[in-house]
Amino acid sequence: MSAVDLSRPAHAAKGRSDAAGNAEPGVFAWRVLALLNLFRLSLGAVLLLTFLLVDPPRLVGDVDPGLAVRALVAMIAVGCLEMAFLHWRRPGVETQTYLMFGADLALIIALVHASGGMSSGIGGLVVVSVGAIAALVPARRAFFFAAVTTIALLLEQTFAQLSGVTQSEQFAAAGILGLVTFLITAVAQLVRHRIVETEALAEQRGVDLANLVELNDYVIQHLRESIVVVDGDDRVRLMNESAVKHFGVDGRDGAATLDQVSDELAERLAEWRRDGAVERSGGPFPAADGATMIRPHFAPLGSGRAGGVVVFLEDTSLIAERVQQTKLAALGRLSASIAHEIRNPIGAMSHAGQLLAESDAIGAADKRLTDIIRVNATRVSQIVESVLSLSRRDKTQPERLQLKPWIQDFAREFVETQELYEGAVRVTEEAIDLDVQMDPTHLHQIVWNLCDNAVKYASLAAGAISVELTSGVIETSGRPYLEIADRGPGIQPDKTEQIFEPFFTSQPGGTGLGLYITRELCERNGATLRYAPRPGGGSVFRIVFADPDRWQGGDGGA
């Protein structure tokens, strides 16, 4: 390999090797040339000062002061010019190696001649240049330079003797210096091989480490599990893409504090730090999109909880969806049996009860019993119809709707149908007009169920019935929503996780399927249904519609 190979990037030189089979990175060659040039400048400046400040007899230039001055000035000039070449890295390493070797050899031979030959000791300076160059070139070329240096020293000694400057005994010193040059070249070659091998290994380890870091970052960023890493001061050090979507923030802001990302998560973390050995993360809380519920889990980075913490965010919506799918499959199998085994007998009992109630032979007490039969038969029939509607899972027919006019029409229809006083169900002034994508039949059934529940429960509480409908947009995700808020008794905190479960009810005579069916209809249309307590008392049910950015095509696209 020639010296020019040293200037190529490591990835370009991969697989190439010198005579010893070692890859050579270009950075090493430039570093050696820079050090050699620094030595040249320092040597030229020191020798020039010595020449100017020391009285004769001088160490340098005692025989020919003019030649010595010109050689020293030329050495400094070459060093300055070489600094520019090294900065520009032009010409290449190979050319600069040859130029530097030639300049050093010529200038040092001139100084040796001007200083009285080999007896001056100036010739030993050539060893530094030859040794440095030997660290850059293959062995054959390095020993060639050593041979050229030895021949130059012998020629200078011959010329000096012919000129009467030196004596013949200095040939021995020239020969010994040439031998030293060969030895230095051999040592430099060994060092060069070791350095090149070490740098190649270090570079490979650096590439492996960079690849490992990149792989780790890729794996973390693309995990379905959301991860947030904070330090002891609750500053966010890492946040993967999934967590960024949950909080609607810029995950690249490494200096952000956790409370700037999520106040709720910061409070949960502070509580977890205070609890010591108690493992508590609380219940799930809504993400920034208003549609996803997340539950945090904390793991300390180290032995204590005061330092760094890894926060795993569990998407409970996915888990709930899997559970619901399992329940739905079970309900589907159950509904087939109900349709054949229960529906017809219940219908027969209900009909028989009606006929019995019409008989003149029964008294008032017996009529009370027939009423009980009729009411409970009707209730069981409703349960059967609800379960059957879940098992059918009719295909949705989404349409693009203007939400505010739709809820205004719905409020009037609901009040008139339920014979409520005007204003019992109203659209708030904060409601804004939005386009949503949903099956209008399903939306009507969803909002009707929610308003019907609000009226039923509000009628049990003190005060007038008041149901408010509000539409808006979630700022962080841009998803439209519709809120149905009431001033009823609300839901107990320990029951909020169960209200969407099938057959769960806290009202006597209820089927426990209303909210479950309502949420199922939402999910069929790409929407979500969430509950939250209303400040001041009451309940708020929020329907978060499908993301409008994901609508496809025109009307009817989902």
Domain boundaries, the chain: 3-214, 226-317, 319-392, 399-550
The whole-angstrom separation of Cα 72 and Cα 339 is 110
Integer angstrom CA distances of residue 410 from 50, 306, 459, 480, 482: 103, 54, 20, 18, 13
Place of tokens 């890295």: 89
Residue 150 pLDDT exceeds 90: yes
The whole-angstrom separation of Cα 542 and Cα 398 is 19
Confidence band of 339 (pLDDT split at 50, 70, 90):
low
Confidence band of 409 (pLDDT split at 50, 70, 90):
very high
Q: Say what the pLDDT of residue 459 is.
A: 62
Q: Say what the pLDDT of residue 23 is.
A: 38
Residue 474 pLDDT exceeds 50: yes
Residue 33 pLDDT exceeds 70: yes
Q: Say what the pLDDT of residue 260 is.
A: 84
Read off the pLDDT of each residue in 493-504 and give the average, rounded to a whole number. Answer: 79
Those residues whose C-beta lies under 8 Å from the C-beta of residue 84, and which sit 6 or more positions away, are: none
Q: Say what the pLDDT of residue 510 is.
A: 63
**Mean pLDDT score of the chain:** 80
Confidence band of 554 (pLDDT split at 50, 70, 90):
very low
Residue 405 pLDDT exceeds 60: yes
Residue 304 pLDDT exceeds 80: no
Q: Say what the pLDDT of residue 277 is.
A: 47
Looking at per-residue confidence, does 378 or 1 come out higher? 378
Q: Say what the pLDDT of residue 32 is.
A: 87
Per-residue pLDDT of 520-549, as tens digits, reads: 888 888 899 999 998 888 899 999 998 776
Domain 226-317 belongs to what architecture?
A: 2-Layer Sandwich (3.30)
Per-residue pLDDT of 509-526, as tens digits, reads: 566 778 888 888 888 888
Q: Say what the pLDDT of residue 1 is.
A: 37
Q: Hey, what CATH topology would domain 319-392 get?
A: Helix Hairpins (1.10.287)
Q: Say what the pLDDT of residue 187 is.
A: 92
CA nearest 99: which of 70, 138, 129, 140?
129
Q: Say what the pLDDT of residue 251 is.
A: 53
Q: Say what the pLDDT of residue 115 is.
A: 87
Read off the pLDDT of each residue in 274-281 and give the average, rounded to a whole number. Answer: 58
Looking at per-residue confidence, does 482 or 287 come out higher? 482
Confidence band of 281 (pLDDT split at 50, 70, 90):
low
CA nearest 153: which of 132, 129, 136?
129
Residue 10 pLDDT exceeds 60: no
Confidence band of 24 (pLDDT split at 50, 70, 90):
very low
What percentage of the chain's residues is helix, strand, coil (to nearest 5)?
60, 10, 30
Q: Say what the pLDDT of residue 20 is.
A: 36
CA atoms within 13 A on the CB side of 1: 27
Q: Hey, what CATH topology would domain 399-550 get?
A: Heat Shock Protein 90 (3.30.565)
Read off the pLDDT of each residue in 279-284 and give the average, rounded to a whole number. Answer: 63
CA nearest 75: which of 99, 41, 47?
41
Q: Say what the pLDDT of residue 252 is.
A: 52
Per-residue pLDDT of 449-468, as tens digits, reads: 899 888 887 765 545 688 99
The whole-angstrom separation of Cα 38 and Cα 530 is 73
The whole-angstrom separation of Cα 353 and Cα 360 is 13
CA nearest 261: which of 270, 250, 275, 272?
250
Read off the pLDDT of each residue in 83-93 and give the average, rounded to a whole number. Answer: 88
Q: Say what the pLDDT of residue 445 is.
A: 87
Share of the chain above pLDDT 70, in %: 82
Beta bridge partners of 528: 544
CA atoms within 13 A on the CB side of 342: 17
Q: State the pairing for strand pair 467-473/425-427.
A: parallel
Looking at per-residue confidence, does 25 or 26 come out higher? 26
Integer angstrom CA distances of residue 385 from 332, 343, 378, 465, 505: 12, 9, 10, 29, 17
Residue 365 pLDDT exceeds 90: no
The 3 state secondary structure assigned to 121-139 is: CHHHHHHHHHHHHHCCCCH
Residue 149 pLDDT exceeds 90: yes
Looking at per-residue confidence, does 138 or 367 come out higher? 138
Per-residue pLDDT of 252-271, as tens digits, reads: 555 578 888 888 888 888 88
Whether the link from the prior residue into 57 is cis, omega within 30° of 0, is yes
At 148, list the tokens.
């050229």
Residue 484 pLDDT exceeds 70: yes
Can you tell me whether residue 306 is helix, strand or coil? Answer: coil
Looking at per-residue confidence, does 98 or 394 come out higher? 98
